[in-house]
Amino acid sequence: MKFSKFNAIIKMKTKRYLLYALGEIFLIVMGILLALYINNRNINQQYKSQIDNNIIRVYEELEKNIDLTKATIKMFQYKDSLVHLTMNDSLIADDFYKNMDLAFLVVQNHQESLEEEAYQNLIQLNISNNRYNDDLLIDLKELYFLNKATKGSTKNMANFISDISIPFLAENIPSFSDLFYKEEIKNDALDFFMKSKEYKTFVSRYAILALRIQLDHNKKFYTRALAVYNQISEQYDLKNNHPFQISPSMASKYQGTYANEFINNDLIIKVENDSLFIDDGSGPSNYLVPLKEKRFFVKMQGQMSYFVSFTKNEKDTSELDLKLHFMSNRYLFKKVKK
């Protein structure tokens, strides 16, 4: 009897010890799991913080690249106007003396080198499987993939200039060394630039590489960069220096409706993404390519082209006159409303 009682007590104590041990093991396991969870959460938060900080660095880098690309686009638009002047026989000898860019048109290559250090650091950091901010990172990868295409077109142009353009000019212009090394344009060079049909054909080849490819790549990068830049600005509540907005200076000076009192015709000058467009209601809007202050070249869809200049109205200084030089005619429009 006593033995049975003793045996029951032993079993009860053993059971209690087992339950206690299991409880201790459970607490230890839970403690380990909790510690792992906290550690993983801290690592994850640290990773997200690193991603966020690098995205902000990319944002600052992207702002510089937007400015650089915009300057490159303006340069190509200026070059586009020179191509049109050359192809349309709109140049006189004096133009070449005043603007040496005309003589060096087919040997000019330009592309600002965009910064990518912050972007590359971000991409190398993005090795986690938690897919944090994945949509934005995909957009950035697609954006800088466009930059690779731009670099490729710039390299192709550089090869075209060194292997084809320079030898072509050297072969056809006896005073090429004076032009290229001394920047002195002589009569044989002028005759070639102004009269040679072969040169115009060559300008068109050059324009395909510069204006149809390089300019197109830069425009695509610029448009996409603005979109990503604004996306980051909104998501992280950052100061935005490149919002999608109209340039106040251009809008206040030029934007509006112009009317001609001699012919029944109105023209509308409008601003989109910081660029001027002219619309006469007969078809697609035409881009106004800046030549110099208050003077623009209208880029038409077909062969027609003309120049636009803005001048103060002598009778009403608050108004602007719009002068169109189309073929041999000149038309004067007065702003009637903004």
105 contacts 87 by C-beta, under 8 angstroms: no
More confident residue, 275 or 117: 117
The C-alpha atoms of residue 76 and residue 64 are separated, in whole angstroms, by 19
Place of tokens 């049975």: 4
Confidence of residue 288 (pLDDT cuts 50, 70, 90): confident
Q: Range with the lowest mean pLDDT among 61-70, 97-106, 203-212, 306-315?
A: 306-315
Task: Tell me what pLDDT residue 302 has.
Answer: 45
328 has pLDDT over 70: no
End-to-end Cα distance, the chain: 112
145 has pLDDT over 60: yes
326 has pLDDT over 70: no
Q: CATH 2.40.128.50 spans which residues of the chain?
A: 248-337
More confident residue, 114 or 42: 114
Dihedrals phi, psi of 261, to nearest 5 degrees: -80, -15
Sign of CA dihedral 246, 248, 237, 143: positive
For the question of whether the overall pTM of this predicted structure is more than 0.75, the answer is no
312 contacts 320 by C-beta, under 8 angstroms: yes
Cβ-proximal residues to 200 (8 Å cutoff; 6+ apart), any chain: 86, 87
Task: State CA 6 to chain mean position distance.
Answer: 89
Q: How many residues are there in the chain?
A: 338
Task: Tell me what pLDDT residue 3 has.
Answer: 54
Mean pLDDT of 13-42: 73
Q: Which two tokens stand for residue 331?
A: 């038309």
Cβ-proximal residues to 263 (8 Å cutoff; 6+ apart), any chain: 331
More confident residue, 302 or 231: 231
The C-alpha atoms of residue 276 and residue 270 are separated, in whole angstroms, by 6
| Residue of 317, 275, 273, 313 whose CA lies nearest to 296 | 275
Percent of the chain with pLDDT over 70: 79
Q: Taking the domain 248-337, which CATH number applies?
A: 2.40.128.50
| CA angle in degrees (0–180, nearest 5) for 248-243-67 | 90
| Residue of 303, 301, 302, 304 whose CA lies nearest to 287 | 301
| Interaxial angle between packed helices 117-125 and 134-160, expressed in degrees from 0 to 180 and rounded to the nearest 10 | 140
More confident residue, 316 or 25: 25
Cite the beta strand spans of the chain per DSSP E: 256-260, 265-272, 275-279, 286-292, 295-299, 306-312, 320-326, 329-337
| Residue of 38, 39, 42 whose CA lies nearest to 50 | 42
